[in-house]
Each structure stands twice: as structure tokens, then as C-alpha cells.
Structure 1
Amino acid sequence: MLTLISCILLVGYRWITRFLALACYAMLLMPGFLQVFYAVHWCCTDILGYYYFFSSQVRRSIIYGEQPRNRLDLYLPKNSSGSKPVVAFVTGGAWIIGYKAWGALLGKQLAERDIIVACIDYRNFPQGTISDMVKDASQGISFVCNNIANYGGDPNRVYLIGQSAGAHIAACALLDQAIKECGEGENVAWSVSQIKAYIGISGG
């Protein structure tokens, strides 16, 4: 009992209640994850995992910023001739469990259709706030817009896609960038006009 009380005093009541709420939320999501896992992953995880870790067409963990999660994965088509259209993808994960490798299937499928895919990682809660996530995504988009030509991509054909929490974060990054561009003297690293289209999948 004394150990429990000292633990509560040391960690803080609010953090314990938040942790318990997060654990309950994860338990509620578990049946859906298990369905997807058994229906899809058993048939393609081995193949997709091998592709992700061993394919010469995947460039993993390219650094785009200073934070530890400021990394992105690039999925490149086998055919390297000509400039390719580019998809900048921000994955979902309820703002707490998102990870760039979740875009591996999308990256593989689009790379087979001659499209470069950049899966942008970002800080999750509690590593960062929504503002931090939006800042990370914006830096990732900036990297894609300014550097994708080095990988055979066409900087004039960049399409932004976000899924679930990623759709929310990507939309906020676009709005934040538009606000910056309206301000006088605001230094911007990329422009909303560089994005050909935004697609939000199952977002808020």
C-alpha cells in the first residue's frame, strides 16, 4: 500500500489516469487490429517485411529534421528513367502509435506503378503535441518538395496523402503553411502551391 501511494505521489495522479485511459483505449481498439492482423498480415507480412528491409528500392530512415522521429522512408520504382510523380504520405495511428513503416504496402503498390512514395514519420503523443506533429509533417513535406528531384521525382507533381490521424496532421500542415505564406516577411521552406492535390483518407 505504501509503495502504491509513493508511486502515485512520485508519478502524479494525472499521469496515472491518462495512462489508464490510454490502456483502456488500446484495449477497445484491439479487436479491430486483431481482425486486420489475421485477415491480411498472415498472407503478406513475410513478403512485405522482406521487401521493406531488403529491397534496394526502399530507402529507409532518411533524416529530414533534428528530432529523433524526423525520418522518412522512400519507395522508388525500378524504372529510373524520367521524372516520377511523388506521393508524400502521412500515416495514421490515433496520434499515439503512428509509424512510417505502416506505409510499406502503399509504398510498394505505388512504386510498382512508377510513383515515388515518401512515408513521413512524426512524433507521437506524449513525445510531442499536435503542434509538434504538424511541425514535423511540414518539415517532411518541405524535404520532399526540395529534395525529391535527387531521387528521380518530379517536384512539380507532389501529391499529399494522409490517413486517419495523418489526414488531420497533413491538413493542419497545409493550413499552417498557407497562413505563413499570407504573413509579410514570413520565411517559408515550401509552398502550398507545390502540392498538386491533397487526399485525406478517413480523417477527422
Structure 2
Amino acid sequence: MSYDNDQTEARQLLSRGSSVSGGSFNQMQRRRVSGKLAKPERQQSFSRDIGHAASETYLLTRLTITLLRYLGVGYRWITRLAALGIYAALLMPGFLQVAYYYFFSSQVRRSIVYGDEPRNRLDLYLPKNLDGPKPVVVFVTGGAWIIGYKAWGSLLGQQLAERDIIVACIDYRNFPQGTIGDMVTDASQGISFICNNIAEYGGDPSRIYLMGQSAGAHISACALLDQAIREAKGEESISWSVFQIKAYFGLSGGIMEGEESLERFSPGVRIEDPSIRNAVSLLPPVILFHGTADYSIPSFASEDFAAALQRLGVQTELILFDGKTHSDLFLQDPLRGGKDAMFDHLVAVIHAGDKEALAKDAMAPPRRRLVPEVLLRMASYISPF
């Protein structure tokens, strides 16, 4: 999808659901926001996994049909859908390997409940060696606000777990099941669960990093900024703190521009508001990654957001990758295996200060190739992103 079309869909989302989203944060905080949630079962049976997969497939199918009713089905949508099908088929050798890991690896804890809504689930990817508390990445997946799903983070989760990093992939309500406000509320509640419970899974509560990709970068940035605003106001009933987040990583982020109807959900505009300057000063270091050949969400989205953060004194790093598209950094490059600058930088930041972990990283073998190069090149050519 183009950047303009993503914003159009977001405006539709807001116009249809703003009355619901307005009170969603307060509703969340009126729930049990202090103390720990009950710890779920560590591993579900295979039969329960099949039942859960079937129920979610039904839910996603029903939501897709509802969405198409809103958007209409025309030639452009049909061609994009066909391109997406071919793109997925070309990358299928890699997807099947990742799916096998996702469903059968004992290192994956699937569909842990973190809230009361139907999509309030998260997946945990655990390192093989849990000899001590591990750093944690809380990851919010992309999906243009309409097709986000926690399993999209499987490849990232697997590869970071191989470097002794726990990854928590948060699911959230998509449109038309929920508004952007609902998505931000879900993400915030998922972050809260990790902050309060990750020690039980071998994570280090003092080394938690927040990361989002594409629409997930926008949603997670909104959740982080909203939390900072609440803390700056001195609200007492909060279930997690921005001070628990060591850094924020935004990958190919859709940080929306400041059109009037989107101001509430535009971090780049909101941080310019003088009334929340105290909240902005609470933000952790921000690191933004973006490809210069990204036509779904052009790199100027991250450039403008980084410039605004730097003007306000937030420690910010912008890393641009020449010639990389919207899907290269998140899919093609990881499926290609080997070393790449973004993955190495991500791991280096997370393991900074841990000499033993850095030494292991330096000796780690290159990531395994999952898809032949010829298929990756063809996928890049046909990609609808």
C-alpha cells in the first residue's frame, strides 16, 4: 500500500471509531492495573493449539470480509492481492521453516493471555539457554492497521532468541475489530504484562526494549508517548513505566503526519505540543531504521520524526539503508541469512554493557539462509509493498 492510502485508511478508521477509542485508556486503567496478572500455562497441548489456530483463522476471515465491505473490491485491490499471493509463494520455503519452528519448538510459548479482549494474546520466543536473566524485546507487528498478527514476528523472534534475547510479540485488535485507540490500548496492556511478568519466563525486567515495525512502529510509539504523558501528569494508577524501557526501536515506521483528524495519533505532531514537553523529556533513547527505497511508507516519515525528537532533546539515532524497500529489512534480508547491518546494530544495542554476550555475538555463526537468492530477487520484483 502507498503511504497516502495508509493514511486514508487510518482516517476512515478514526472517523468510524473515535467515539469508542476516546475512553479506552481509562477503561483499561479501571481494570486491574496494579499487581501481577495470573501466570498462564507454560505450554498448551497440540490439540489446543489446533483449536486456537482454527478459531483465529475464522476470526481473521470474518474480519477480512467485513473490511472488504468497507473498502470495496476493485481492480487495484485484486491486482495487489494477486501480487501478494505470488510474493508469499516465492518466499514459502522460508515461511514453512519458520512455521515449523513456531508450532513445534519448545522455545515458543504461544498465545499467552495478557488482557480481556479477544486479540489480547502474545507469543514468547525464549533462548535455549536460560542460565540467567535475559534482555527482552517487546515487539508490535505491522500490517497497515488491518492485518497485524503476532505470528508475523516469528522470524525476528527466532533469530533474536538465537542471540540470547527474549522476544514478546504482541497481538492487538485490527480494524474493523477495533480503532487505533483500541490498538494502542492493547499494545500498552501487552507491554504492561511483560514489564510485570517477564521475570517468570527468564527475562530481565531491567532490560526491556520496545520495538515496532511499520504500523506497529506507529502503534508502539503512541503507547510509549501516552504512557509518558500519564507519568508526567503524576497519575498514580499506572501498570508500567517508560523508565522500564531501555530504548525504543522503530522499523520502517508509519509515524503519521499532522492532519487535524489524526493529531491525537500522530507522535510526530504531539511531541511538538508545549504542554507535554515534560512528558517528552521522559522518553527513552529512540533508534529508527528505514530503507530509502520504501514506497509503502517513505523514509521521510522516520526522518521527520527523528528531527522533531532531536529538536526536543530526545536521544535519537536515525539509520537509513540505501536501496532497501519496506519488506527488505524485515523479511527478505532475514530470510537471506548471513550478516546484515540492521540486525547487528539491534543486537549490539541490546547487549551493550554485557561483555560476555558481546563476545558470544562476535563468535556467532552467520544467520542461516532460508530462501534461495533467485526466489528472493523475484519476490522483491513482485512485492506489493
Give the shorter-chain TM-score range. Answer: 0.7 to 0.9
Segments of 4+ in structure 1 off by > 4 A? Answer: none
Q: Distance in 2 between matches of 1:53 and 1:166?
A: 23
- 1:37 equivalent in alignment to 2:88: yes
Q: For residue 60 of structure 1, what is the amino acid of its counterpart? A: R
- Post-superposition Cα deviations, 1:90-128, rounded to whole Å, max 9, x if no partner, equal 000111111000111111111111100000000000111
Q: 1:176 aligned to 226, 234, 245, which one?
A: 226
How far off is 1:18 after superposition? Answer: 7.1
- 1:88 equivalent in alignment to 2:143: no
Structure 2 portions without partners, runs of 5+: 1-15, 17-65, 255-385
Partner of 1:64: 114
1:201–1:28 distance in 2 versus 1, CA, 3 Å: farther
Partner of 1:199: 249
- 1:79 equivalent in alignment to 2:137: no
3-state SS of 1:200 partner: strand
1:47–1:172 distance in 2 versus 1, CA, 3 Å: same
TM-score (norm 1): 0.86
Partner of 1:3: none
- Post-superposition Cα deviations, 1:24-73, rounded to whole Å, max 9, x if no partner, equal 575464355345413322x2222211111111100000000000100000
Partner of 2:207: 157
Q: For residue 179 of structure 1, what is the amino acid of its counterpart? A: I
3-state SS of 2:186 partner: helix
Q: Distance in 2 between matches of 1:37 and 1:17?
A: 21
1:108–1:160 distance in 2 versus 1, CA, 3 Å: same
3-state SS of 2:91 partner: helix
Q: 1:116 aligned to 141, 154, 166, which one?
A: 166
Partner of 2:361: none
Q: For residue 37 of structure 1, what is the amino acid of its counterpart? A: A
How far off is 1:22 after superposition? Answer: 5.4
Q: Distance in 2 between matches of 1:77 and 1:60?
A: 15
Aligned length: 189
Q: For residue 131 of structure 1, what is the amino acid of its counterpart? A: G
How far off is 1:183 after superposition? Answer: 1.7
Q: For residue 90 of structure 2, what is the amino acid of its counterpart? A: A
Q: 1:143 aligned to 184, 188, 193, which one?
A: 193
- Post-superposition Cα deviations, 1:116-167, rounded to whole Å, max 9, x if no partner, equal 0000000000111100000000000011111111100111111111001100
How far off is 1:19 after superposition? Answer: 2.4
1:39–1:118 distance in 2 versus 1, CA, 3 Å: same
CA contact (8 A) 2:114 2:193 kept: yes
Q: For residue 134 of structure 1, what is the amino acid of its counterpart? A: V
Q: For residue 149 of structure 2, what is the amino acid of its counterpart? A: Y
Partner of 1:55: 105
Partner of 1:189: 239
Partner of 1:10: none
Q: Percent identity?
A: 68
Q: For residue 151 of structure 1, what is the amino acid of its counterpart? A: Y
